[in-house]
Amino acid sequence: MASRLTEQQFKIVEALIPGERFGKELRAHLKACGFRKSGPAFYQLMARMEEAGLVRGWYDQKIVDGQIIKQRRYKALGKAMRSFDETRQFFGGAVEGGLSGA
């Protein structure tokens, strides 16, 4: 059985519905939705979501101007999608949207 998501978790899963996203994209999405989280607080939230089996996170690494750049990337898992649907149904389907323009 899935469980309902918090509002921030809901917005994160909503942003991940179209596909994988970088952490910085998810942070920008939360900010656009009115949430203000520091970088460490955001990544603690994402770690808790990983531990709960809602998302999978990994590092993408690339070299830019001779510098190694590592960025955290996330994907919603099936449990997150079930919880998203349960949360949306609980609140009457009044929530719509997604990650636009990111």
On whether the pTM is more than 0.75, the answer is yes
Q: What is the pLDDT along the chain (102 residues), one digit of tens a residue?
A: 568 899 999 999 999 999 999 999 999 999 999 998 899 999 999 999 999 999 999 999 989 899 999 999 999 999 999 999 999 888 875 545 444 444
Query: What's residue 2's pLDDT?
Result: 65
Query: What's residue 89's pLDDT?
Result: 87
- Which backbone phi and psi does 98 adopt, to 5 degrees? 150, -175
Which residue ranges form the domains of the chain, and what is each CATH number?
7-90 (1.10.10.10)
Helices (DSSP H) in the chain: which residue ranges? 7-16, 23-32, 39-51, 78-90
- Residue (of 89, 98, 84) closest to 29 by Cα position: 98
